[in-house]
Structure 1
Amino acid sequence: MTNDVIALTPTMPDVWTVLAGLHAGGPDLGVATTADGAVIQLCAPGGRSLVSIEAPILVHTPGEVERLLGAQPVGIPAVPLWWTEARASTAIPKAESLAGSFAGRLTTVLGGATWPPEAAHTAVVPLSSDITALPAADDALPAVDVLTGSTAVVISERPRVAMTAWLSDVLSVCTEAERALNIVTPPHARLTLATRTALTGAPNRWVVQDEECGYYDGLSGGVLRWIDGTFAPVRTDNGATAVASSFTQGAETGDRQLILSFSTRHAPNEQLVLGHALEAAWQALTGSPPAGWSTAEPINLPWSTRQLTDLARHRAPRPTWLLAVGSPDRPAIATLRITRTKDGVEEEITFVTGYSSDENPPLHAIEPLAETLATRHDLTSMIASLRTARRDLTVPPQLEAPPIPVAFTLGPDSVCDVGLTHARRPPLNLHPVQLGPATRPGLHFPLSDGTDAQAWDSLQQLTRHLRAR
């Protein structure tokens, strides 16, 4: 069983259907709202939050249910569908059944399916009166299971831990309050790329339950203990961090991922439309544009450069962080950060595509793509790399090989800053390819075929040479 229950319906839950669901705990429960009304909470008479219900999301993107929930539940409607998420407090045993009753009532009225299927029912869930003795804390965060002075702990049983809107909000609040976010999962869970990116670096952690050692960090393998209100590494006698044996026991599948990390810088003007650089990369490597975009998962909006530009313009000068996914037959996902700086409007993009052992990553497409980005999309720089990792682009709590650089590209402005003569003569056996017109070229440096780890040495020497100017 899980503390999250999701209703997937062909039509939007209207006010009366939601009210029917809110009566799952009987007439004594209270209702509150948070996040400017985007989250409805079912509360015990004393104010304790039992279930937090997100505003329904209209999902247009094919494959999102399977990508985020694993096997599709029976009866799932075709896209577009409405995704309504209820998260139960783990502190109250019957709260999970209450969330299941809420979701079951929605799908009974509207049709569709619930995830997980066994959680759905329509019975009234009576709650014992002693819950009223547990008042809501003044600094309580919706959907946080444990809150200390230094750490917010979220316990998740999902097979894929996605960067949902509520989890993104929790992370933002934790960052502002200088708290760590610790996400605790069972060993079979995996992270999406978005969640993995958000948890990179201290103080945030992915905490994996383990029969042998108790807990370990799913990204580094370090054994963890709950110490003074947070999960902290366990040290060996010589002061090193102990590593869980489960972390080093990953099965080799032969799958690979091609990763592009690149940035662009545009002159700000009213005609500027963002997202075209990512769209060009997607087209070059997959043969089609992105399928959808959003600010959180599930990714629900059809791909639109105009709409994402409007959002970034509305949020400026604050940065905007976005996600995009491709069609289900070709796993691909990207993160896009848009920032207004004194030099212009900058896009920082990480684009990842997945391949099985019998598929060849399109390394031949990288150089033509580099020229397109350098001559048409204001490329600043790009690193292309290849790694051994899952085709479905999820992150398991096991050791994965680091990526190996395939190529490095400088855009025209960056070449100008370095100096064309200096940039073209690195102290290596590298032969840069000129991109675009001779009067203002970009430079593309092929490094390897993605199988030679010494390519990292070449890249480091190259970047030191370029910075030395």
Structure 2
Amino acid sequence: MTKDVIALTPKMPDAAALLVALAAGGADLDAATAGEGAVVQLLGPGGRPLVSVEAPVLVQVPGEAERLLGTPSDTPVWWTETRASTAVPEAAELAGAVAGRLAEVLGGRVWPEGAGRVATVPVASEASAAPAPTGALPTVDVVTASTAVVLADRPVVPLTAWLSDVLRTTAAFGAALHLVTPAHCRISLPLRTVLTGVPNRWVVQDPAGGYYDGLSGAVLAWQDGTFAPARDAQGRAQPAEAFVRPAEQPGERRLTVQLRTERPAEADTLLGGGLEAAWRILTGAGPAGWGTAEPVNLPWSPRQFTDLARGRMPEPSLVTAVGRPDRPALATVRVTRTATGIEEDATLSLGYGPTEDVPLEAVRELAEVLVAGHGLVSMLVSLGPGRRDPSLAPRYSGPALPVSFTLGAPGVAEATLTAARRPPLALTPVQLGPRNRPGLHYPLGDGTDPAGWDSLSTLLAHLRTAVPPLP
């Protein structure tokens, strides 16, 4: 299993500090850079990477260390990850020694507690003599013809820059990424987004033996170089008992807002406005930070967000935003250049404890603001069981149920206002925005009635049939 050790330091790890840290392997190990200089690796005698040291990240967003590692930390803080290969038994201890030296030199500390040792770790295993093949995946535990397997053991496994790189590499090869964790681990919502759907998979080690899918619960088996569902005589996948056991945090709920906006691609267009409006209306404050990977490291800035997306176009951009530590919230945003403008697809998740009120009464106000000033295309709000913190445990939590659906002005105009106002349902939509270009808000319930999905399905089918066919 790869061993992750993180140094949290108040000072930036400069060249001198890195040299002291890398000396933990003694004089017989070589060092090299990878990832266009973003990674420094300690190499065994034959060129096999033993430990990879990621480029330090200055985390300026309060609460990120506690969200991902379960340990409080002052901010700003420099976050430096070291990752050990499984090729050599001594590599895990060596990774801890590298991080421990960084923390000692820079006055910081190491996660997990006790992992950092200020010592020299000699490497004597002959396995290090096998050099890594050209183009090999960076510090991946198992690679087959179809699958790259990464083993992780952290409180919350995040979508780090390294893991994003592994995903891009496997996708380029037409391969799958399978993340394998113990059952006590959780994954972040951004990581869940990229692992959802074939061929990628979250594989959980069942405490009772074997493996299961952390998202679907299907029992898995290692077959032909990959993890696949173990099927019975009728060809059906079976759910793991560990997946359907009672929730860890009964009574906790999660409000999910899925919104799509489209704005003109003009020089003064700022992105993130719709997401920020949703955040402020539902929590009383805007996002605390944003970034392209986790930990989220930058204070919230629509201007910097816009500059990043503009610089990457025509390729899409995927970013993560987080809220304040006292008000758990997290969002993912995908920005895409379209033929008519710039589209933002955002999913905002907000967690609530058993005694906290969910602000359902604010949803209509949010719909009004988005229709009137942020180019809303559509918004679906749902409520269901889920941890208060923005992470996902490998167990069944029950489905979210619809609260409302809002159709923006473009959709209303396409379906015609007359048809859109008259769905075959026992509800009355609320007209929002300018009279000459309105949107419609459809209340569907309070998130407790499963019939809300039937109502939503009927509504969407009605709106689709109301759109005139293309000539």
Q: Which residue of 2 aligns with 1:182?
A: 178
The aligned runs of 1:53-68 (5 Å cut-off) are 53-68=53-68
1:170 aligns to 2:166 (yes or no): yes
Separation (CA, whole Å) in 1 of partners of 2:57 and 2:438: 45
Q: Which residue of 1 aligns with 2:352?
A: 355
Find the residue that maps to 1:119 and give its secondary structure: coil
Return the letter of the residue paired with 1:329: D
The aligned runs of 1:20-419 (5 Å cut-off) are 20-72=20-72, 76=73, 78-251=74-247, 253-419=250-416
Separation (CA, whole Å) in 2 of partners of 1:44 and 1:386: 52
Runs of 5+ consecutive residues of structure 1 not aligned to the other structure: none
Separation (CA, whole Å) in 2 of partners of 1:229 and 1:9: 40
Deviation at 1:225, TM superposition (A): 1.0
Separation (CA, whole Å) in 2 of partners of 1:24 and 1:424: 70
Q: Deviations over 1:405-443 (max 9, x none)?
A: 000001111111111111000011110000012211100
Contact 1:213 1:244 in 2 (8 A): no
Runs of 5+ consecutive residues of structure 2 not aligned to the other structure: 467-471
Q: Which residue of 1 aligns with 2:469?
A: none
Deviation at 1:342, TM superposition (A): 0.6
1:10 aligns to 2:10 (yes or no): yes
Return the letter of the residue paired with 1:369: L
Separation (CA, whole Å) in 2 of partners of 1:147 and 1:284: 46
Q: CA 1:437–1:120 in 2, change beyond 3 Å: closer, same or farther?
A: same
Deviation at 1:2, TM superposition (A): 7.0
Q: CA 1:380–1:4 in 2, change beyond 3 Å: closer, same or farther?
A: same
Separation (CA, whole Å) in 1 of partners of 2:17 and 2:408: 54
Among candidates 443, 447, 452, match of residue 446 of structure 1: 443
Q: Deviations over 1:193-246 (max 9, x none)?
A: 011111100111111111324111111111111111111110012211021110
Return the letter of the residue paired with 1:184: V
Contact 1:213 1:223 in 2 (8 A): no
Range 453-462 or range 111-120, more displaced? 111-120
Return the letter of the residue paired with 2:172: E
Find the residue that maps to 1:203 and give its secondary structure: coil
Find the residue that maps to 1:170 and give its secondary structure: helix
CA root-mean-square deviation: 1.1
Deviation at 1:391, TM superposition (A): 0.4
Contact 2:256 2:349 in 1 (8 A): yes
TM-score normalized by the length of structure 1:
0.98
Q: Deviations over 1:375-404 (max 9, x none)?
A: 000000000000111001211110121110
Among candidates 427, 432, 435, match of residue 435 of structure 1: 432
Deviation at 1:458, TM superposition (A): 0.1
Contact 1:354 1:390 in 2 (8 A): yes
TM-score normalized by the length of structure 2:
0.97
Separation (CA, whole Å) in 2 of partners of 1:8 and 1:393: 22
Return the letter of the residue paired with 2:117: H
Find the residue that maps to 2:362 and give its secondary structure: helix
Separation (CA, whole Å) in 1 of partners of 2:454 and 2:337: 33
Find the residue that maps to 2:460 and give its secondary structure: helix
Among candidates 443, 465, 468, match of residue 468 of structure 1: 465
Return the letter of the residue paired with 1:164: T
